[in-house]
Amino acid sequence: MALTLYLHPLASFCHKVLIALYENGTPFEGRIVDKLDEASAAEFTAVWPVGKFPVLRDEARGQMIPETSIIIEYLDRHHRGPVPLLPDDPDLALQARLWDRFFDLYVQGPMQKLVTDLRRPDGQKDPQGVAEAKATLATAYDVIERQLETGPWAIGEAFSIADCAATPALFYAGTLVPFAASHPRTAAYFERLVARPSVVRTLREARPYFHFYPAYDAIPARFLAD
């Protein structure tokens, strides 16, 4: 198959790209990277020495594309489907890129800090870093709540790359710093996101791996079974 995505089904940044692929029904082969398996890890490191997934390989064009935002822009340019993930209007495209980065930096970033701390043994925790991450998430939720006055999706009326970024960011962040009771527009937005078939499929594929997530007990039961 022309497109191969190196991924892990539990990883939030992989979810971001999977949603983009499934939104457009883009054919691809998913290749799961198991970093605990020497052969799997070595194969992936040979592909992308930095060792961060996801990475997209396009055999037909001889391209290797890392970094989620770049992967989605690449797909939108070279494998565009019925759902354009970057608006053709240049000003709207800038807004889509802005909010894509916002969710990555100010929701995913602190969320991953909190997950990392949960995995640390006693005596190696970072309480100051955790407090800072939670404060960043609280601020981010307030900003998202105001932004959603513009329409049903992150940049208004159309689903975009920004919503691909928002979905896994809010899914995992909400298990650590809940927003449903305090941010009603954000909570309603999250419900619209998780109702999309692309997201349903992504979360279903992640289900067998959710028990590895350190805040597994905080995942709502509706995402653990049909």
Bond before 54 cis per omega within 30 degrees: yes
Mean pLDDT of 141-153: 97
Mean pLDDT throughout 193-212?
Answer: 98
* pLDDT for the residue 7: 96
Radius of gyration, CA atoms only, the chain: 17
Per-residue confidence (pLDDT) for residue 131, from 0 to 100: 98
CA gap 57, 71 in Å, rounded: 10
Domains and CATH numbers, the chain: 90-200 (1.20.1050.10)
Look at the pTM and tell me if it is higher than 0.85.
yes
What pLDDT sits at residue 178?
A: 98
Express each pLDDT in 82-128 by its tens digit. Answer: 999 999 999 999 999 999 999 999 999 999 999 999 999 999 999 99
How is residue 214 written in tokens?
A: 């350190």
pLDDT of 1 > 80? The answer is no
- Give percent of the chain with pLDDT exceeding 70: 100
Task: Count CB-CB contacts under 10 A for residue 145.
Answer: 17
Q: What per-residue confidence (pLDDT) applies to 37?
A: 87
Residue 221 has pLDDT above 70, yes or no: yes
Nearby residues of 176 by Cβ (< 8 Å), 6 or more positions away: 111, 114, 115, 137, 215, 218
72, pLDDT greater than 90: yes
Nearest to 15, CA basis, from 217, 226, 199, 161: 199
Please tell me the predicted confidence (pLDDT) of residue 226: 81
Tell me the pLDDT of the chain averaged across its residues: 96
Structure confidence at residue 38 (pLDDT): 87
Task: Tell which wins on pLDDT, 43 or 15.
Answer: 15
pLDDT for the residue numbered 195: 98
pLDDT at 219 over 70: yes
**pLDDT at 154 (0 to 100):** 98
User: Residue 50: pLDDT band by 50, 70, 90 thresholds?
Assistant: very high
Q: Which of 48, 42, 49, 35 lies closest to 5, judged by CA?
A: 48
Rounded average pLDDT over 10-26: 98
> In terms of Cα–Cα distance, which of 130, 115, 126 is closest to 172?
115
Structure tokens at 166: 């928002």
CB 34 within 8 Å of CB 22: no
